[in-house]
Amino acid sequence: MQASRQTHWAMMNTQMMNTQLFEESSEPSQSKVWREPLTGMEFVSIPAGHFMMGSPETEEERSDHESPLHDVHFSAGFWMGKYPVTQAEWQKIMVNNPSRFQGEWRPVECVSWNDAQKFLQKLNATLPVETHDRASLRFRLPTEAEWEYACRAGTTTPFSFGETISTDQANYNGNYIYGKGKQGIYRQQTTDVGSFPPNAFGLCDMHGNVREWCQDSYASYNETPPDDSAYNVSDDNKAKVLRGGSWYNRPSHVRSANRCRLQPDDRGVNIGFRLVVRHLRDV
């Protein structure tokens, strides 16, 4: 099944994983990759640390709402989905498949923020109840800060790959260029997850393919928390943050710092999500 869904890059990653401790258990271990047993979703360990969130005023085609640059600290690491949630993974939990571009290893799309919350509610209901010797896990959407930190993977450039990007590295509208980049392919649809090289943390499809919902309500950076907390998630009627750009967007919209907002019931053929997981004791 792995070989049928993954491209050259993803298969290379699988070969590398075989040399590491890979534990298919009900909880993440000290290994760098963990597979959730029910759906098979792969999660990558993201280390604690800090980074400058947002974009500098010198960055090309930036937006004012990416300011001000601010330091965000992560006191603990977390686990993030290596890929956006696929249609196969969605169907294991929700049965239906709302996606326009069908394919079990393509990202699920046409899902709203509220749809993602329903998926999470059902997924979390499958987890073991916390006991005295074992903490339960909780899956959720990433906070906006977690998402950008994981996307950058230690970089400060517009993209995790450097100053520019190509359609050999991500699925976006290649009719447009960014900086000194070149025109590329406009695929006009999603692609299988893992079709492009990962960033330095081992995450795939952080640039392009589908925009990804975050847990946060949208706000100015002057109002957001200085840590990895989500902003004002209790107000479900506020616009929610999306990150990463999509197959439909020009390269400036798939930059690490790019922000987008939509209402929690909005859906689109370029909108999906990925998950993070932490032990309850770390949340």
Higher pLDDT, residue 22 or 175: 175
Q: How confident is the model at residue 283 (pLDDT cuts 50, 70, 90)?
A: very low
pLDDT over 60 (residue 8): no
Spell out the residues 6+ positions from residue 171 whose beta carbon is closer than 8 angstroms to its own: 187, 190, 191, 195, 196, 205, 208, 209, 246, 247
Spell out the residues 6+ positions from residue 52 whose beta carbon is closer than 8 angstroms to its own: 69, 70, 71, 72, 156
- How far is it, in rounded angstroms, from Cα 165 to Cα 62? 15
- How far is it, in rounded angstroms, from Cα 119 to Cα 139? 10
Q: What is the pLDDT of residue 37?
A: 86
3-state SS, residue 254: helix
Hunting for tokens 């004791």 — which residue is that?
281
User: Each residue of 222-261: pLDDT tens digit?
Assistant: 887 777 777 766 566 699 999 999 999 999 999 999 999 9
Average pLDDT, the chain: 86
Output the CA angle 234-222-112, nearest 5 degrees. Answer: 40
- How far is it, in rounded angstroms, from Cα 197 to Cα 220? 32
3-state SS, residue 121: helix
Pairing between β-strand 276-279 and β-strand 137-140 as defined by DSSP bridges: antiparallel
Domain annotation for the chain: domains and CATH numbers = 2-282 (3.90.1580.10)
C-alpha count within 13 angstroms, C-beta hemisphere, residue 66: 23
Q: What is the pLDDT of residue 16?
A: 33
User: Each residue of 176-211: pLDDT tens digit?
Assistant: 999 999 999 999 999 999 999 999 999 999 999 999
Spell out the residues 6+ positions from residue 95 whose beta carbon is closer than 8 angstroms to its own: none
Q: How far is CA 150 from CA 82, 178, 179, 248, 279, in A?
A: 10, 22, 23, 22, 18
- The packing angle between helices 87-94 and 113-124, to 10°, is 60
Output the CA angle 232-235-238, nearest 5 degrees. Answer: 95
pLDDT over 80 (residue 6): no
